[in-house]
Chain A
């Protein structure tokens, strides 16, 4: 996709956009002070996650821009101070910790194929083991079902050891909605990774690159 002006939406903006298409995102708040962070936890409780929010830092965990499993106010204060020092003057996101099985949904506009959508179990499953499925958009519900069945790790979604069975219909709905939003919003690339699935599918992190 050369010669096209791109806009990068940060995590917060990306989530606002996908919400418009009925996609559920994890409860979160954009903050610039510790007070705001504490106030958020008064409503949601612990554990929470603190993340840097900046277009300069697209892959946050690679540079220490994510602290997970914050259990109380003193841990929160520590995490906030560290992040403030590391990424001076940048906003942060505080999020409730989401539970479920981790999956990822992604998409891109391909020169030869047009919009394509990807589904995988996220993390090393997708990138190292190359266990993911692809389709050309738009997809039908049957295509979405096939995408889920096609990955080698699909049995994990049916409940395995201490992991509960997840709501497959929610994943199908998510795949269909991502196809729809890619076309309508002229998206070049989209990553919803991870998405935590239990009874619902909840997007925990999102990154969107759009055509300007």
Chain B
């Protein structure tokens, strides 16, 4: 299925565009305009002459130019009818926003069946119904009815829920990390997860694929494609639906024991897909994977000014990496900085307490750990203080001269740490304000390392 017109149209018709800001149709159009889309935009409405300064057409067939993509912001009934006009116009993709289809019962199911039959008969890739649409920051195309502008970056998101999809976007904004594509698959009636990961596999600006999934009838196909995708880029899935009932019609014990959620979890592991159990974990893993390289070995080195956060983190990552002992050279470097008998035990994690409060000391100690020949990934932890600034420029400087992956943990108030997180992200360093998120970041990197080893 060719999704080029969905993600990267040259011209878009917004059918059901409105001039009233409290209408979805207005916001759909405004989103495209506000996002800075450089392609052609054609609002369609039976009565308006002009919306947002754009010439408005009574129907899609009145538009003289070719239309790649039709975004339909009409109700479920008119959406189903208008497909015929879109086909006559020769559109190469449709985004169907309205809900009220199979998610509402038998009548909706019938309606959706007609919609899908038409789309398939005309051979038009249809996204939705019941979706917010897509975002492609490569071309500043934002088809959702939540107007926004995102930082460009390597994370692409596929979501089955608009609400969770937006939650993910707002969290990504907080994390100061950039997005490549965002797609709401909605009811997945024509375009489903397998079609989208296939597209993202070949998308050069997508470095990591993050997914929010409720479930798909095409699970097997999704797995088979994902198995190939993960050789090139990591796939992280947050799957919900733990309470979904098992199949009680089954006659064997196995048939009634195998739950849907368990099956997804096991299959993800088997096919090299990284899993997350929350939006925060999904974002933390995607952030690290989009900014940092994969570690070349299993060893992590930690520098911290307090033991506690490193213990929290170690508990969460014990099954994916090891903590090597420091090389003699590293120990000597630490002693050089701290004096022959420093008030600390020189071991990994290196808890330096007061000896690391000043940025210059933190820089020297970071350098010592990062240069240790046994260390394949580095984690730096320091905590917000009213008088002592964060060692952000120092960390950036040290990381510049190193090729191993680095994660930073700054436990702090968000408003204080925001600029630091941004500065670090701009320099390709994932920083987090809680130990849990830092642990997920590290875990994601090592998990992907193990997956690559296993499948290549």
Q: How far is the CA of A110 from the CA of B454 in the complex (A)?
A: 26
Binds A, one of B162-170, B262-270, B361-369, B403-411: B262-270
Q: Is the CB of B252 within 8 A of A190?
A: yes
- Contact of B267 (CB < 8 Å), options: A113, A120, A132, A142: A113
- Contact of A191 (CB < 8 Å), options: B215, B218, B254, B262: B254
Known contacts A113-B220, A113-B267, A134-B263; is-contact A108 B252 (Cβ 8 Å): yes
Q: Does B258 belong to the interface (CB within 8 Å)?
A: yes
A127 CB to nearest B CB, Å? 6
Q: Is the CB of A106 within 8 A of B252?
A: yes
Name the B residues within 8 Å of A118 (CB-CB). Answer: 254, 257-258
A94 CB to nearest B CB, Å? 24
The contact string, 1 if C-beta is below 8 Å from chain A, for chain B 419-456, is 00000000000000000000000000000000000100
Known contacts A112-B220, A127-B257, A132-B257; is-contact A209 B252 (Cβ 8 Å): yes
Q: Is the CB of B267 within 8 A of A189?
A: no
Q: Is the CB of B215 within 8 A of A112?
A: yes
The A-contacting residues of B in range 212-232, CB under 8 angstroms, are 215-220, 223
Q: Does A197 belong to the interface (CB within 8 Å)?
A: no
The contact string, 1 if C-beta is below 8 Å from chain B, for chain A 78-117, is 0000000000000000000000000010111011111010
Q: How far is the CA of A143 from the CA of B266 in the complex (A)?
A: 10
Q: Is the CB of A189 within 8 A of B220?
A: no
Q: Does A25 belong to the interface (CB within 8 Å)?
A: no
Q: How far is the CA of A86 from the CA of B257 in the complex (A)?
A: 30
Q: Is the CB of A136 within 8 A of B270?
A: yes
Q: Is the CB of B270 within 8 A of A190?
A: no
Q: How far is the CA of A133 from the CA of B267 in the complex (A)?
A: 10
| Majority DSSP secondary structure for residues of B touching A | helix
Q: Does B342 belong to the interface (CB within 8 Å)?
A: no
Q: How far is the CA of A171 from the CA of B416 in the complex (A)?
A: 56
- Contact of B217 (CB < 8 Å), options: A112, A136, A139: A112
A186 CB to nearest B CB, Å? 15
Q: Does A195 belong to the interface (CB within 8 Å)?
A: no
Q: How far is the CA of A134 from the CA of B270 in the complex (A)?
A: 9
Name the B residues within 8 Å of A142 (CB-CB). Answer: 454
Name the B residues within 8 Å of A110 (CB-CB). Answer: 258, 263
Q: How far is the CA of A136 from the CA of B215 in the complex (A)?
A: 16
Q: Is the CB of B223 within 8 A of A107?
A: no
Name the A residues within 8 Å of B223 (CB-CB). Answer: 113, 136
Q: Does B255 belong to the interface (CB within 8 Å)?
A: yes
B16 CB to nearest A CB, Å? 34
A9 CB to nearest B CB, Å? 11
- Contact of B263 (CB < 8 Å), options: A8, A106, A116, A191: A116
Nearest CB to that of A208 among chain B residues?
B252
Q: Does B251 belong to the interface (CB within 8 Å)?
A: yes
Q: Is the CB of A135 within 8 A of B216?
A: no
- Contact of A108 (CB < 8 Å), options: B217, B218, B220, B255: B255
**11 more A-B contacts (CB under 8 A) besides A106-B257, A136-B223, A209-B252?**
A107-B254, A112-B215, A112-B217, A113-B263, A113-B267, A116-B258, A127-B257, A134-B262, A134-B266, A135-B270, A190-B254
